[in-house]
Amino acid sequence: MIESIESTLTASTENTQLSRRRFLSVSGKYGFNVAVLASIGGYLWSDTAVAQTSADEEKKKKAATYTMTFATEYKTEDVVKYPIMQGAFKDNIEKLSKGKMYVRLFPAGQLAIGAALAQRVQAGTVQGASLSLSNFSPYTKTVDLINIPYWCGENQKFANLVTSKTWNDDITPKVTERGFKPMFYFTVEPRTIATRRGFGKVVKTPADVRGMKMRVPSSKLLQKLYRLMGANPTVVAWGETATAIKQGVADGLDPSVTALATFGFTDVVENITFVRTVPDAQMFAANYGYFKSLPREMQTMFEDASRMTQIQSFQQLTASRTEAMRLMALGGCKFYVPTADEYKLWVASCGEQRPEWNEDKIELAGSLANFDKLKLAANTKGSITASDFQG
């Protein structure tokens, strides 16, 4: 069985290397954007299809009145295991605008990653991008509300929240005044607790994480969350996390299962527990000045395309989760879903009902009453139906 898995992983690595070389070859001959579209469309190896795409893109670019540069940290093919719908947005806005808008995609961190990418959107050197809400919180700290645990962690609750009038009346204007136009918010699954190879036990209840070294980002709320659980939060930069886990500097980490698969933790993680504390959330955002420079008709089409893509992002969750779990399992990872009684223990250990979160609610939401309004919105079914993993 182990030899079969190793053989499959070796073949997968070789195929990835071949695809990378082909991507670079197509990019060198036809341009980066054509190579991206060929990857999305699944015809990267077809010379005829690639040549036709190149001709079509050149024609669209020349015919368009407006151009938008859109960047992400993710490869185009990641959509199968990570619901990042960059290709769908390009297709939606170009079709709705009847060719008046042309979108140039720059995936895989080609233009920047993390805070640097947010800075470029704010400055207008990049017209739009996918931004992690945790990374975005330095620009508008209010969005860090989502990292208070157990009130909007589930996919459906998050969808309810970010499509609600309460969120868009209260939170979105605070994002806009910092120079960003929120196109739409989405989640890539709730955060988990994933343990390193050799940790030796399955995390089932908060008692299992007491004293555990948890890798966390610089978010003060996430650090507080794990201290309440009884764990020892250890801040490690994302680029150093895999090495830290392998060396035992940290015993665990908390990204969503889709993120773990996308960023190559298949040979690092031993067990994943679906604790559903907070959403692993992002938003597509445009430079506000760029958006306002568009004619009213184009602004309407832009917002319509954004809503369409948001719906597609939530629809993609099940397929991406399934593929991510398949890849993690192929690498030997096991999964655990807490029972109803165990889940109550997690909520009791660190949930938003604890008084320790009151100061954060007041700082980020303005008052406890405003937080309760947002919580009500998260618990009120909205226009989007999102799937949650039940085990």
With a pLDDT cut of 70, the percent of the chain lying above it is: 94
Long-range contacts of 209-212 (CB under 8 A, 24+ apart): 209/252, 212/251, 212/252
Q: What is the pTM of this model?
A: 0.89
Alpha helices in the chain (DSSP H): 2-30, 32-41, 47-63, 86-96, 114-123, 133-136, 155-162, 165-170, 172-176, 220-229, 241-246, 257-262, 288-293, 296-330, 340-350, 358-365, 368-378
Selected residue with higher pLDDT from 243 and 21: 243
User: 10 burial class (0-12, 13-18, 19+ CB within 10 angstroms)?
Assistant: exposed
222 CB contacts (<8 Å, ≥6 apart)? 134, 147, 216, 233, 254, 278
What confidence category does residue 8 fall into, taking pLDDT thresholds of 50, 70 and 90? very low
> Which residue type is seen at 118?
A
Question: What does the pLDDT look like over 272-295, one tens digit per residue?
Answer: 999 999 999 999 999 999 999 999
User: What is the chain's length?
Assistant: 391
The answer to whether domain 193-278+328-378 has CATH 3.40.190.170 is yes
| CATH class, range 2-139+168-188+281-325 | alpha beta
Same CATH topology for 2-139+168-188+281-325 and 193-278+328-378: the answer is yes
What count of Cα atoms within 13 Å lies in the side-chain half-sphere of residue 345?
Answer: 14
> What pLDDT, on a 0 to 100 scale, did the predictor assign at position 134?
83
Is it the case that residue 380 has pLDDT exceeding 70?
yes
The rounded distance, in Å, linking the Cα atoms of 7 and 2 is 9
Domain ranges of the chain: 2-139+168-188+281-325, 193-278+328-378
Q: Are strands 269-273 and 232-235 parallel, antiparallel or unpaired?
A: unpaired
Cβ 330 vs Cβ 90: under 8 Å: no
Report the mean per-residue pLDDT for the chain. 92
- Compute the distance between CA of residue 187 and CA of residue 276 in angstroms, rounded to an integer: 12
Q: At what angle do helices 368-378 and 155-162 cross, to 10 degrees?
A: 120
Q: What is the pLDDT of residues 100-126, one digit of tens each?
A: 999 999 999 999 988 899 999 999 999
pLDDT in tens, 356-376: 999 999 999 999 999 999 999
* Helix (H), strand (E) at residue 188: strand 180-190
